[in-house]
Amino acid sequence: MFKRFRGGVRLPHLKPTANIPIERAKPPATTVVPLKQHVGAICEPLVGKGDRVRTGQKIGDSPAQLSAPVHSPVSGTVVDIRPSPIPTGEEVPSVVIESDGADEWMEMVGIDPEKSSREEILARIREAGVVGLGGAAFPTHVKLNPPKRVDTLIINGCEGEPFITSDHRLMVEQAERVVEGVRIMMRVCGAERAVIAIEDDKRDAAERMREFEDGRITVALLPARYPQGDERHLIKALTGREVPAGGLPFDVGVVVNNVATAKAVADAVLDGRPLIDRVVTVTGEVRNPKNLLARIGTMFSALVEECGGAAGSPDMVIAGGPMMGVAQWCDVPLIKGTNCILLTRSRAEEERDCIRCGRCVDACPMGLMPALLASYSKKRMFDRCREASAMSCDECGCCAYVCPSKIPLVQYIRQAKAFLREAKK
């Protein structure tokens, strides 16, 4: 029934928090809110040191089209605006807010999407600071306003990486809210149909979502295979269409949004509630792994404490999943795109010579030859890398995952991409 995307790998089903209900994390005493948590322009701070802020108050915004405002996740006082490392590995100016413990909210007013214009709804989504919550953090108001006509909205509930269960729990516990968001998104982007894509290791989530199927919204249960949650492969699996290289999903009439984003859109439009919290799975070597509904700006260390602290002796903190997540070198704040905090042990694995087994070629969903790309990159033959479509690499990690010689293939390809990007300038 569904087309299979090329390559990919079957990852072990390691999701210890799949059946643990979402728990509300304590709003922390101090939050650090980065002024850029999204793809696009950095926000200018709208508050200064010493200012009092309320929960949900806009504290940063940008006139740029491709950007998204940020809001105060607590009520309290701005104590500093300073650069802070964020989970993506960048360092960006951030607003540090000392909470007063009152959690005093701004007044929120929703709108009726049926009685509002497309533009009004888009403005609401933008104003609430909604970005893609699956990890990429692309501003949602831009995504829902494609320059070409789209016929299909795909709601991505694949969540194929091990350990991450935040979307899974959201679908199980707040299916109705997710669907409300889906309806709003359909209306805004003009898609006639919406497909909610869920992998078959989350049958309970699919069952919950199926209760809301109607003629236009359907649930697709896909065989679990990583990286199906990558939008390019999801589009291929569901529609058979292929996004042209260098293009975007709207080029083939599709818009893809994550389930948590749909929920955030419903909150923004129906309640006027800005995006100041999200569900994050805190897992791995922690005492009590949890799915936490946590305020943006909460430090990772506080969230780990919320789960009883580290268990065993992890020496790595990863923002995101084990396949594409970013290893942290210091304590960082939770940002909109962080779906998982994974504590784990590093593995000292020596890189060996390539034995040319071809496993990476078979596993690459993009149809690349990772072994060749890596060897070109190692020898600094970057023009050969470009010729072999290095720029098409999504860094999904399948190649390095299957490599028997434990070569960090993705890292070599990243280096080539960085060089080629630099050379283009």
Nearer to another protein, 229 or 322 (CB): 322
Q: Should residue 357 be labelled a site residue for another protein when binding is judged by CB under 8 A?
A: yes
Nearer to another protein, 215 or 246 (CB): 246
Q: Should residue 401 be labelled a site residue for another protein when binding is judged by CB under 8 A?
A: yes
What's the DSSP call for residue 121? Answer: H
350: left (phi over 0), alpha (psi -120 to 50) or beta: beta
* Cα–Cα dist 227/224, whole Å: 9
Nearer to another protein, 225 or 263 (CB): 225
Interface residue with another protein, options 44, 211, 315, 383 (CB under 8 A): 315
In the complex, minimum distance from the CB of residue 176 to another protein, in angstroms, rounded to a whole number? 35
Q: Should residue 392 be labelled a site residue for another protein when binding is judged by CB under 8 A?
A: yes
Handedness of CA 306, 129, 262, 4 (dihedral sign): negative
Q: Should residue 209 be labelled a site residue for another protein when binding is judged by CB under 8 A?
A: no
- What sections of 255-352 are H helices per DSSP? 259-271, 300-306
Q: Do residues 322 and 161 lie in contact, with contact meaning Cβ atoms separated by under 8 Å?
A: yes
Q: Do residues 331 and 31 lie in contact, with contact meaning Cβ atoms separated by under 8 Å?
A: no
Interface residue with another protein, options 107, 112, 147, 346 (CB under 8 A): 346
In the complex, minimum distance from the CB of residue 345 to another protein, in angstroms, rounded to a whole number? 9
Q: What is the Cβ-side half-sphere exposure of residue 22, based on CA atoms within 13 angstroms?
A: 19
* Cα–Cα dist 359/398, whole Å: 9
Q: Should residue 236 be labelled a site residue for another protein when binding is judged by CB under 8 A?
A: yes
**Residue 178, SS3 per DSSP:** helix
Q: Which stretch binds another protein (CB under 8 A): 57-65, 105-113, 137-145, 316-324?
A: 316-324
Q: Should residue 383 be labelled a site residue for another protein when binding is judged by CB under 8 A?
A: no
Q: Which stretch binds another protein (CB under 8 A): 117-125, 130-138, 184-192, 366-374?
A: 366-374
Interface residue with another protein, options 122, 180, 397, 417 (CB under 8 A): 397
Interface residue with another protein, options 147, 353, 424, 425 (CB under 8 A): 353
Interface residue with another protein, options 153, 341, 403, 416 (CB under 8 A): 403
* Cα–Cα dist 88/114, whole Å: 37
Q: Should residue 358 be labelled a site residue for another protein when binding is judged by CB under 8 A?
A: yes
Nearer to another protein, 308 or 358 (CB): 358
Q: Should residue 16 be labelled a site residue for another protein when binding is judged by CB under 8 A?
A: no
Q: Is 87 buried (19+), middle (13-18) or exposed (0-12) by CB count in 10 A? A: buried
Q: What angle is formed at CA 364 by the lines to CA 366 and CA 137, rounded to 5 degrees? A: 60
Q: Should residue 318 be labelled a site residue for another protein when binding is judged by CB under 8 A?
A: yes
Q: Tell me the per-residue interface mask from 108 to 147 with another protein, x by CB under 8 A, - otherwise.
A: ----------------------------------------
Q: Is 353 buried (19+), middle (13-18) or exposed (0-12) by CB count in 10 A? A: exposed
